[in-house]
């Protein structure tokens, strides 16, 4: 069945460092792909998405490119801030009668000043 | 535009009891999905309601049931609570059909079963 695999955390970075969080997926067809962010004590916020191969989603300095050949959707940011500390979830959307999100296990990011 | 709201924020129940969680969808959205997020894990799809009908279900037992009302708000009911039901329950609303690829989540209800 469909699945999403993310790199294990926690990822610990200094402020202004470069961030990469790896995400790969297994799915039939070409599902839409998403990154969600969860701040402490809160629900999930949609960060960015891509709906087809080679699409690049971007928001708030974060980017991810839908790579069909490597079945990947890695999240990147050029310069992280302390306020980016959160848990990041990669997800795919399985459609067909109804839409359901299939999530990875999440990657915790801690950014220190 | 009003976002997705959920109530209550926290809840403590005893094993064997029943619980009802509530969700108000974002304005203009007619589809509500429920997810269970165990500690340290990603959310797992429970079911989805579209125009008051359940139109999709994940791998959860029948003691997990739901409702959607004419104003598109929704309830999640769990009977015969088990310790493993302790989790954050998330509600997400979206547009139905092909336009519904973006799901917007509420803050969640933290359920603890003792």
Confidence band (pLDDT; 50, 70, 90) for B114? very high
How far is the CA of B6 from the CAs of A82, B18, B84, in angstroms? Answer: 28, 18, 21
SS3 B85: helix
Confidence band (pLDDT; 50, 70, 90) for B97? low
Give the whole-angstrom CA distance, residue B13 versus residue B17: 7
Q: Answer whether residue B2 shows pLDDT above 80.
A: no
Q: pLDDT (tens digit, 9 = 90+) per residue, B28-86?
A: 889 999 999 999 899 999 999 998 999 899 999 999 999 999 999 999 999 999 999 99
A99 touches chain B (CB under 8 A): yes
A13 and A109 Cβ atoms separated by less than 8 Å? yes
Sign of the alpha-carbon torsion through B17, A38, A36, B95: positive
Given an 8 Å threshold on Cβ–Cβ distance, is B48 in contact with A98? yes
Q: What is the pLDDT of residue B101?
A: 77
Q: What is the pLDDT of residue B98?
A: 57
Pick from A8, A98, A105, A107 the residue to mutate for testing the B interface (most B CBs within 10 Å).
Answer: A98
Count of Cβ atoms closer than 10 Å to residue B61 Cβ: 10
Confidence band (pLDDT; 50, 70, 90) for B1? low
Confidence band (pLDDT; 50, 70, 90) for B95? confident
Q: What is the pLDDT of residue B109?
A: 97
B58 and B64 Cβ atoms separated by less than 8 Å? no
Q: Which among B43, B48, B56 has the least Cβ separation from residue A103?
A: B43
A92 and A33 Cβ atoms separated by less than 8 Å? yes
State phi, psi for B49 to the nearest 5 degrees: -120, 135
How far is B45 from chain A, CA to nearest CA, in Å? Answer: 7
Weakly modelled stretches of chain A, pLDDT under 50: none
Give the whole-angstrom CA distance, residue A46 versus residue A32: 13
What are the structure tokens assigned to B61, written together? 């037992």
Specify the higher pLDDT residue, B37 or B1.
Answer: B37
A70 and A41 Cβ atoms separated by less than 8 Å? no
Specify the higher pLDDT residue, B102 or A84.
Answer: A84
């Amino acid at each position: 069945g469909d699945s999403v695999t993310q790199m294990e955390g926690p990822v610990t970075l200094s402020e202004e460092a470069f961030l990469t969080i790896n995400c790969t997926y297994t799915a039939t067809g070409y599902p839409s792909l998403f990154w969600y962010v969860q701040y402490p004590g809160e629900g999930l916020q949609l960060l960015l998405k891509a709906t087809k191969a080679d699409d690049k989603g971007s928001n708030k300095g974060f980017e991810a490119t839908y790579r069909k050949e490597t079945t990947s959707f890695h999240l990147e940011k050029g310069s992280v801030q302390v306020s980016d500390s959160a848990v990041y979830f990669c997800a795919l959307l399985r459609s067909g009668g109804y839409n359901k999100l299939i999530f990875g296990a999440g990657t915790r990011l801690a950014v220190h000043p | 535009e009003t976002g997705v709201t959920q109530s209550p924020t926290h809840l403590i129940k005893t094993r064997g009891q029943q619980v009802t969680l509530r969700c108000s969808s974002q304005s203009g959205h007619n589809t509500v999905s429920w997810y269970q997020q165990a500690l340290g894990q990603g959310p797992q799809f429970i079911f989805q309601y579209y125009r008051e009908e359940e139109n999709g279900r994940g791998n959860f037992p029948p003691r997990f049931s739901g409702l959607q009302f004419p104003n598109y708000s929704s309830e999640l009911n769990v009977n015969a609570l088990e310790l493993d039901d302790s989790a954050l329950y998330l509600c997400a609303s979206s547009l139905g059909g092909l336009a519904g690829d973006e799901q917007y989540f509420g803050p969640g209800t933290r359920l603890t079963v003792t």
